[in-house]
A and B are shown apart, each in its own frame.
With several copies, the nearest count.
Chain A
């Protein structure tokens, strides 16, 4: 009872903090039909700075971290990414009215990570003075890539299986991935080609490559002065603009969901909580093994709860052209992302109660 009250009061307090307040403000703007809009180049610039900030910050910490401390949570993150996709495959993708292809794409997007949501989590922890491992940003690609690769491979294999049983001669799953046209997937060696193709494509996507660049700069160079004088101080302010944009986008995508099956709405509402809980549990495990901090557990939960909003959608559009983007983008941007961001205080309260900051 006390625990519940605690959690509730933490959540209420967070709703007034900048991050959530700007998100809700953005939703209200869109709801009242405002013509306010942030130009696309500005959005891209904010995202770039934010990804570099997360990457560089993580890179600087990786320098000093010891190997085990780093590898265990990375493995945990990758496992969470894969398991989220498997859950989606067993639930959403089998629902009546949901095409398996669309379901898998949605599961992939929810397994992947949103840098913006992660950054929102970091800002909230920073705001409360709660510590977390500096290298947390380095876990992002592990969960993100694991989820996207799993979802794409499983979706394409099952499409291939269907094509093999039903005799459909043409339009057979031909796909373009970063310019390379790949046919249907017949034998093990082409399996690896497929996985490699997806990996290369993901690594080249703007978000992942900006994050990896940041990591590399943090590890191999000494960007500390510019990190502290520029990336760090601008971070919170730009995040507030980003939350505005995400709130507006969420509201305007909600309407697209009217056209898709109800299952998506249920999934969009429940999945962030379920995935977050999964991430939390794995984080708890890592906490017991390596002494991973309570803040780190929260951020692992946040990554798991989040769904990719920058690189994920175009990667999936390229790799699974038969999946309907209205379904997966609508579910993720319209429901998954705001629910994930709004549930960050929940994970914070939970970590406070179960581990203690």
Chain B
């Protein structure tokens, strides 16, 4: 087992593409996203309710990277670029992986 870092970003669905562009630019080998709803400082957001062009849903994106600095760098770039104007939170967790080559470029 090898140590690696998981970066999680929960934010508005409309910027999924922009955020994953930053993730790829930051050198991650991949990412996973799931539809989400939630509540935060900017009120309730729902993944299921119709209307407003699907703009009210959240997405939870997770990225496994081999080193902690890379995770922090992506985290900062996403927060800088988006979290002034869009809802979102981000955090990091340590994980253990089997195949380190899967997560390094």
Contacts and interface: CB of A to CB of B under 8 A. Distances in A.
B91 interface: no
Contact of B51 (A174, A312, A322, A333): A333
Contact of A333 (B14, B48, B52, B82): B52
A317 B51 contact: no
Contact of A311 (B14, B53, B82, B85): B53
B51 A249 contact: yes
B99 to A, nearest CB: 15
A9 interface: no
Interface stretch (A32-40, A145-153, A228-236, A294-302): A32-40
A249 B84 contact: no
Contact of B55 (A171, A181, A256, A325): A325
A309 B54 contact: no
Contacts of A129: none
B81 interface: yes
B95 to A, nearest CB: 26
A304 to B, nearest CB: 21
Interface residues of A, number: 32
A174 B55 contact: no
Interface in A102-131: none
B14 A245 contact: no
Contact of B17 (A171, A179, A313): A179
A44 B82 CA distance: 27
B85 to A, nearest CB: 4
A314 B50 contact: no
A290 interface: no
Contacts of A40: 48-50, 54
Interface string A305-346: 000011111100110011001100100010000000000000
B41 to A, nearest CB: 12
B50 A317 contact: no
Interface string A167-189: 00001001010010100000000
Nearest to A42: B50
B50 A313 contact: no
Interface of A: 37-40, 42-44, 171, 174, 176, 179, 181, 206-207, 245-246, 249, 256, 309-314, 317-318, 321-322, 325-326, 329, 333
19 contacts: A37-B49, A39-B50, A40-B48, A40-B50, A43-B50, A44-B54, A174-B81, A179-B18, A207-B53, A249-B52, A256-B43, A310-B53, A313-B53, A314-B53, A314-B54, A317-B14, A321-B85, A329-B52, A329-B55
